[in-house]
Amino acid sequence: MPAADPKAAPKAAPAGGMVRRDPVFRAVAAGVFLAGALVMLLPVWYALAIASMPEDGRLSIGSLPGPALINTLAAVILDPVIQRQLFNSLVMAAAITAGKIAISLTAGFAVVYFRFRGRALAFWAIFLSLMLPVEVRIVPTYAVAADPLAPLIGGLRLLGIEIGLSPSLLDTHAGLVLPLIASATATFLYRQVFLAVPADLVEAARIDGAGPLRFLRDVALPLAAPATAALAVILFVYGWNQYLWPLLITTDERMATVVMGVARTLPTDNAETRWGLTMGRALVAMAPPVILVLVLQRRLVAGLTDVGK
């Protein structure tokens, strides 16, 4: 029986190649993409048009941004109240991003590379917390933030020890950040990243005498850098857009975030609303996360597509 010629064997088509070359599929995908982009961009365009209209002007659906846009945005940015709200939002978003990444990275690293009793149980307990909606967790979280030492003080009181401490995280930056600093999703993401590290690389580091901290610094962190960059963008946007928790945890106007500031400019009862300034505030509020995503979009896509490879 003659040997088969390997050159004569048909070459397998790359996975997904047929789908990508199908003109019908490409046309449908492009149409869906354009429709989605239109749905998302139309409100932004309308906000630009409203923000650029004079206060006594009337707006129609077909209006275009006018010359008053720069003046409106300048008035919003130079407002000391808005500046304070932007600062609070920046502190909250940056701290949530850094805290979630630090905790999730170390938790994912421990779950993958350390052997301890209850490791799987700990991971699945963290993962199952995703099934609890925010509305279920927010009231107990508020109770803890209002009096973080309540369990300790109650236990000491049972022992006959009285402590006159009553700390509270209400109306503080710590109260805005700490209750939101853990992330089951980010922990799961880092777990998948570390599981994809070749076993030979782990063994080589062990033979080289690398301890856990050195392995984390020299091997794990560089390999997790793309996922960390993508995760940082997502978490910053998440922290910036928070509304329900800051609304609940703060009563001091000086601790309000910019998202709360936009909501408070909406009309109530028969009060007159300055729609130009309202939309100007909305545009200023959405600018930082939009700019961040546009600048880091390549890292965002690369980080999400490389997870688990």
Residues listed for the chain:
309
CA–CA distance, 28 with 26 (Å, rounded to integer) = 6
Token code pair at residue 251? 């009563």
Which carries the bigger pLDDT value, residue 231 or residue 161?
Answer: 231
- CATH class belonging to 71-305: mainly alpha
CA distance 278 to 263: 9
Averaged pLDDT for residues 139-144: 88
Confidence at 55, pLDDT banded by 50, 70, 90: low
Q: Give how far Cα 230 sits from Cα of 184, 233, 293, 305, Å.
A: 16, 5, 10, 10
Average pLDDT over residues 50-74: 69
CA distance 240 to 291: 13
Using CA atoms, how far residue 280 sits from 109, 240, 245, 262, 275, in Å, is 44, 17, 24, 9, 8
DSSP annotation of 2:
P
Look at phi and psi of residue 109 and say left if phi exceeds 0, alpha if psi is from -120 to 50, else beta: alpha
Q: What is the pTM of this model?
A: 0.82
Q: Tell me what the mean pLDDT of segment 161-181 comes to.
A: 84
- Residue 131 CB: number of other CB atoms within 10 A? 8
Residue 99 has pLDDT above 90, yes or no: yes
Alpha-helix runs per DSSP H in 129-257: 134-146, 150-158, 173-177, 184-195, 199-207, 212-215, 221-240, 244-249
Query: pLDDT band at 249, cuts 50/70/90?
Result: very high
SS3 (DSSP) at 45: helix
Structure token pair of residue 274: 């300055």
Per-residue pLDDT at 161 exceeds 80: no
